[in-house]
Structure 1
């Protein structure tokens, strides 16, 4: 049951602590002065919507098997656009370093981050971009992405991002689907952008491309930074309704879909994470995970910046550069994916660097095995903790975190203001502790919906607001959730989501292929490897390597057939024509278990 409670109060950040002051006669002159000081940032509140009553929130699992956080609900303001929240943080932390590029040494302070965002917003407004327009970045991690994102937020512009390993065809599909009007990229990817923009097979709306640096035919991003900022407009933004970011996810099935996340969604998840995983002022935080991905975009980037941390970015994973960054930048907090954690467990190169500055490592984006977790802690005995979190692009992204790494193999407990439940996959009955079923979540971080795809939205979010994750798991009586398997057909390769339907659609374009199915083959290092089971046309001479090369030329590295190709006589399908992947796995895939 939803309970609505009205709080006549104000929440103020004082010396990095959120304090509550009553309004009216108790709202003293001293408190008003604090609002205007360097250490106070006001957030005006509107009605607080609680997911549970105060009494109910003391229990992790209720009588009706609803899972709750072990922490009390917090107040999440509904009338604060995200850029206002972050600009307030910039005013607090001012001359402290906010974002730094490890390889170049370039750094923005918090004041510079705000000032540059306003300059870029002013320049974009002068160029004619308005609220509701979509702009897209196609880049590896770059410090000006943080500037661009806040500039977009302040204008009510929707920010989207594409995987920088995309081919021109893949990028072109996202340009068209998102309806974006401009692209931001790096010099190394400028030719891919030009090819995608000029695609003759599909028509896009992109009229201008910007580059972080210099590239012939593209407008330098510096030209936006050179604006005087006087064209910065006052835009009316409704945080609950207006979309801030449009990342792309495959959801539970099918081709990639745009995920509409509002200003409120992103702010809510930042505050929820702050309650469980707080970053202290000046804490060096690793910015390795890609900022085009929701994990990097929100958890890595904003959860550091909202607390006055230092985001130290890397453009990609390079083993020696990664280790040198931890060593030289004295990284204390690192958000990683299982493949990188596995590297830190097994690779001898790790011993050549001093990584003892690390205090906390969090792993997400794919399951992290209990064995790997224990091996990590056995190798690194200097006090670092390793824990898991869980989320989806559709949940902004986080819903769970094991704050202290106290439950090996678990994704942790619910975040504040978030509900969870395990349901029977056949009848949707709510199950109790220890019973296996589909994991469902509900909270303020759940997306507005899929972009231009109400049917897909209705399939994942039910009328009562519960989002069905497509993951199979269970909860213990003390509220720790464990994910055991996936209902999804998505293949998780090194933290990336690879949709089989996209690969199958491509492979069926090959003139020698009659039918095909793609599944994930279990792999200790990568998680899963995409493998194609192919029915050749009669008398076709195509080889396995021919097919591997065909995909390699058209798909990003994460979507290639790392598991290889196997020729089969037929593809098992049900009456409606859907591939029965379980049968393929049982027939062709041998999984070794301890």
Structure 2
């Protein structure tokens, strides 16, 4: 009887609109990049520099680079890495690596030396493709991570500081008479072959190397083309993104856009007016943002200055988006809602997404095709029915192969039945919409009560004089932890700590009051994808209050 109850409470995603195509991620990317190159479509546009790179150029460079890397000696299951900020050349080595069956490990130039040594020490690349900004760090890291034999400059047309630029490297190793029509993608076992080694969020320590297979990647491609998510495959459609490319959110949305033939318009920094102007100038159909930026746009006074009639969607991912903030942005842009996605680096990409025309305020969406989801009681571990909170678990073909060289950590997150335990608290309703409440490890434990920081943050963000906020628990010998918050005020506004304490107390139950106090800060500590850094907030809250 218990097994029957569990089966009844497992939420199954719909059938995919498009069946998963044959071949590896490299096969599929090459097929579609070729197709769109014949149409003269633009692949990437840098909205700051006005530089365009066409699908034809992506086809040419990626094929020549792939063959050059084969001749250099990169074998199937070899490793290459990137260390670069967002740039229009970023995906040249990504595509080339996927063509030849090499595992691609993206990192970012803002990583500290410690983080970069750790990350590249996990992926063990032979070649690192570095931006000019990241070069000095990569040179320093090479002294420790000695498997790095070659550094290639990604974002330069000429050799730089004695290192080969991309074109020089290609010319060194490309055979005479090579033509891209003769290039062949290497055959791989897509269920086993690692396509990308991504960095986990590192919320409980240093990041782990998440191994994403070709199977997981091509499953993501089928979702990218699925009209249930509003993705009518129409080459030339402009999509504006400000999401970091090295992160799973940026990596797999962009690879999906290349499969669809979209024009990826990128901003390397966020400025409210520039963002809106770019939407208008390029007639963008969609914008991809992290939640950090929604708070700015929810109170924007500049939107009416621009013709945004082409915009049909704003999508959020990478971290939870407060219901009230999402609704405010939808109203400001005159949209029916905000499309949300929920996933982990360990699930390749989003495995819960808002379906087309089925938005529900506060919900993250529904289970994607080919996946299953369930909610498990935190204490009994039993599978729960609708509207009951517990840990969200998922199962499907986009789950990671495992953490690189870390089977113990892999077993801690994926159980013997193949369910990945997300560490996120949530529930689903009768219509199978999933709601994310908070991270299991970030829950504040106050006298036995579990207080979700995200709920406190949502309450604080509703105050008209508060621009941004983050919450966390601080240790207390009697209560266990006390809920506290850091707050950024709107420019020109003034609030006292007591006013904020009273405001929150009037909207939450007794256990959720901000007994840990309030600190006023210039910026809420967050990661690259907008996830609030609970550990940093705890340190701020534990520090003595400044004397007035």
User: Same fold per TM (> 0.5)?
Assistant: yes
| 1:358 aligns to 2:311 (yes or no) | yes
Question: Which range moves more in the overlay, 142-151 or 88-97?
Answer: 88-97
Distance 1:69 1:485 in 2: 23
CA deviations 1:277-316 (Å, max 9, x no partner) are 21431210113211101111112x1222211211112223
Is residue 99 of structure 2 the alignment partner of residue 154 of structure 1?
yes
| Correspondence for 2:13 among 69, 72, 92 | 69
* Structure 1 residues 385 and 332: alpha-carbon distance in aligned structure 2, compared to 1, 3 A threshold: farther
Residue pair 1:138, 1:162 contacting (<8 A) in 2 also: yes
Q: Does 1:296 align with 2:240?
A: no
Change (3 A) 1:189 1:530: farther
Contact 2:327 2:338 in 1 (8 A): no
Please name the residue that 1:372 is paired with.
325
Task: Summarize the Cα distance change of 1:161–1:112 in structure 2 as closer, same or farther, 3 Å threshold.
Answer: same
Deviation at 1:120, TM superposition (A): 0.7
Q: Which residue of 1 aligns with 2:435?
A: 482
Distance change (3 Å), C-alpha of 1:62 and 1:456: closer
1:568 deviation in Å? 7.5
What per-residue deviation string (whole Å, max 9, x for no partner) do you get for residues 15-57 of structure 1?
A: xxxxxxxxxxxxxxxxxxxxxxxxxxxxxxxxxxxxxxxxxxx
TM-score (norm 2): 0.76
Any idea what SS the aligned residue of 1:247 has? strand
1:87-236 to 2 correspondence within 5 Å? 87-93=30-36, 94=38, 95-198=40-143, 202-211=144-153, 212-213=155-156, 214-224=159-169, 226=171, 227=174, 229=178, 232=183, 235-236=186-187
Alignment CA distance shift 1:372-1:136 (3 Å): same
Shift of 1:70: 4.6
The answer for the alignment partner of 1:505 in structure 2 is none
**Mapped contact 1:136–1:160 kept (Cα < 8 A):** yes
Q: 1 CA distance for matches of 2:404 and 2:529?
A: 23
Q: Which residue is equivalent to 2:498?
A: none
- 2:198 matches 1:247: yes
**What is the alpha-carbon distance in structure 1 between the residues aligned to residue 122 and residue 306 of structure 2?**
45
Q: Matched residues in 2 for 1:527 and 1:237: separation?
A: 47
Aligned positions of 1:550-565 closer than 5 A: 561=536, 565=540
CA apart distance, 1:193: 2.1
In structure 2, the residue matched to 1:52 is none
In 2: Cα distance, 1:340 partner to 1:317 partner: 8
Q: How many residues are paired up? A: 460
Q: CA deviation at 1:63?
A: 5.8
Partner in structure 2 of residue 394 of structure 1 = 346
Query: For 2:443 and 2:6, how far apart are their aligned partners in 1?
Result: 32
Specify every segment of 5 or more residues in structure 1 that has no aligned partner in the other structure, as ranges. 1-60, 492-518, 535-547, 570-587, 589-594
Structure 2 gap ranges (5+): 445-452, 462-466, 477-520
Aligned to 1:54: none
Structure 1 residues 532 and 103, CA, compared in 2 at 3 Å: closer, same or farther?
farther
Distance 2:409 2:166 in 1: 36
Is 1:242–1:262's contact at 8 Å kept on the other side of the alignment? yes
Distance in 1, Cα, partners of 2:139 & 2:529: 17
- The superposition leaves residues 183-208 of structure 1 with CA deviations (integer Å, 9 ceiling, x where unpaired) of 2122222222222223xxx4432122
Post-superposition offset of 1:142? 1.6
**Secondary structure class of the residue paired with 1:407:** coil
- 1:62 is displaced (CA, Å) by 8.7
Q: Counterpart of 1:472 in 2: which secondary structure? A: strand
SS in 1 for 2:186: coil
**1:424-449 residue CA offsets vs partner (Å, 9 max, x unmatched):** 11222110011111101111111111
Q: Provide the alpha-carbon RMSD of the alignment.
A: 3.3
CA distance in 2, matches of 1:272, 1:310: 18
Report the equivalent of 1:511.
none
| Structure 2 contact 327–337 (Cα < 8 Å) conserved | no
For 1:536-572, what per-residue CA distance to the aligned partner results, in whole angstroms no more than 9, with x for missing partners?
A: xxxxxxxxxxxx9xxx9xx999879467535579xxx
Q: Distance in 2 between matches of 1:290 and 1:141?
A: 6
SS at match of 2:315: strand
